[in-house]
Every structure is written in C-alpha cells, then in structure tokens.
Structure 1
Amino acid sequence: MWFIRRILIVSRKDKKTNDEVLDMANTGRSLYSTIRKRQMKFTGHIYRARGIEHLAMTGKINGKKSRGRQRTTYVDSLDTWANLEQHTRSQFMRSSCERQIWKTMTVNACSRHGT
C-alpha cells in the first residue's frame, strides 16, 4: 500500500485509510479474488481427474463422523462462495466435468462485487 501512497503523494499524516487511497487510485484489492479463482480452477481439475484426490475432496472415505457440529470443508466453502442458490451441490460437481460450464461459473463467481 505504501507504493500507491507514494505515487499519489499521500502522507500517513493525512489520515487517509487504505480503502480511500485505493479509491483515489481507482484500484481494488484483487488478492482475494485471485486466490478464489485459483481454488476454483484446482477444484475443477481434481473433479475431472477422478483420482484419490477426488475421493478425499468429496468426502467419500469410510469411517465415523466426529461428534458435534461438522467442520466446514473446502468444497462447502467454495459452494457457498460460488453462490449455491443457483446450483445444487450435485450440479456444482457435475458442472466441473464440463470445462466450458466450469470456466463460465468460475468467471461469474470471481467477477461479482465483494469478492
């Protein structure tokens, strides 16, 4: 953030927040959306491969569940982030097998405001 302040000649003494400085520069924070985009690409790759990683991601491993509230899984967090109201969990997994649909879904999820 210091380099944007230096380019715009905004001192720390001016008491401008980082968000205000980003607005002045007409930029935004892109790291979070980059991380989510890469996670979605990786998830699509794993679902198409159908290997042991696919079994681990979908949770189809034998054993007992632990007591209490279940932990939020990696796939669950991607489901909620990718706006699951439009897609059910099975549609989410099925769309990963079709590369064009998955790419479109990834782009739409990453281009939403607030991501």
Structure 2
Amino acid sequence: MWCYRRMLRLSWTQKVTNMKVLQRVGMSRKLMQTVKKRKVAYLGHILKNERYQLLQLIMMGKIEGKRRRGRRKRSWLRNIWEWTGVTTVEQLFRLASDREEFSKLTANVQ
C-alpha cells in the first residue's frame, strides 16, 4: 500500500482508504489468495513425505485429549476443504500423491 500511495502522490495526512487507493491503481487485494495457495501447497508437502508422520496425525486430528471450552476453533483442514472443495481426507491424500493433480488444485484456489 505504501508503494501505491507513493505512486499516486498521496500524503499520509490525506484521508484516503486503502480500498480507494487500490481502485485508483486498478489492483485488488491478493494477500488472502496468496495465503490460501501457500497453505494448500504446504499441506501437499506434508502429505507427500513419509517423514512427517507426526504432522500428518496432527493434521488429521487424531491426537488424544480435550479441547478448551467455548466455540470450536476452525481446523486447518476445514479451511482447506472449503477452499478446494475436497470432501474427504482420503481424497486429499490421493491428490497429494499425484503431483500434477495437486498442483492444479493449488493453482485453482481462490
């Protein structure tokens, strides 16, 4: 945002919202899209490698114990399921073993 404001010669004292700056420059926010892609790519990295078995157990939620009181935290896998449209963990494991299919999945995350 700092670079865009410099390009438009906007002073820090001017009250111009970040959304208006992005509209003037003709750009959109890309941070969340980048986070989603990296998160899905990291999951593929974990699921492909055999040496990350503890991480795989953690991802699948098979660790014993109790959660805290209150609303459940949104799980890491639930975010990925919503972003990719994959419904089961087995399907994710199959996709992760096939590099080409998983790279297509990662590229299509929005």
Partner of 2:23: 23
Q: Percent identity?
A: 33
| Structure 2 CA distance for aligned equivalents of residues 70 and 19 of structure 1 | 32
Structure 1, unmatched stretches of 5+, are none
Amino acid at match of 2:87: T
Shift of 1:25: 1.1
Letter in 2 for 1:88: T
1:46-100 residue CA offsets vs partner (Å, 9 max, x unmatched): 1111322112211233x35547764321111111122x2xx32132332112111
The one of 71, 74, 93 aligned to 1:72: 74
Q: Distance in 2 between matches of 1:20 and 1:77?
A: 29
The TM-score normalised by the length of structure 2 is 0.77
Correspondence for 2:55: 53
Q: CA deviation at 1:14?
A: 5.2
Specify the alignment match of 1:39 in structure 2.
Answer: 39
| Alpha-carbon distance in 1 for matches of 2:66, 2:40 | 26
Between Structure 1 and Structure 2, how many residues are aligned? 106
Which residue of structure 2 lines up, in the alignment, with residue 3 of structure 1?
3
Structure 2 alignment gaps of length 5 or more: none
> Residue by residue, what CA displacement relative to the aligned partner does 1:3-59 show, whole Å, maximum 9, x if unpaired?
311211234565432111112112222222222211111100111113221122112
Mapped to 2, the partners of 1:100 and 1:81 lie a distance apart of 18
Cα RMSD after superposing both structures: 2.3
Distance 1:2 1:108, change over 3 A: same
Give the aligned residue type for 1:81. Answer: W
Q: 1:94 corresponds to which letter in structure 2? A: R
State the match for 2:83 in structure 1: 81
Q: TM-score, normalised by structure 1?
A: 0.74
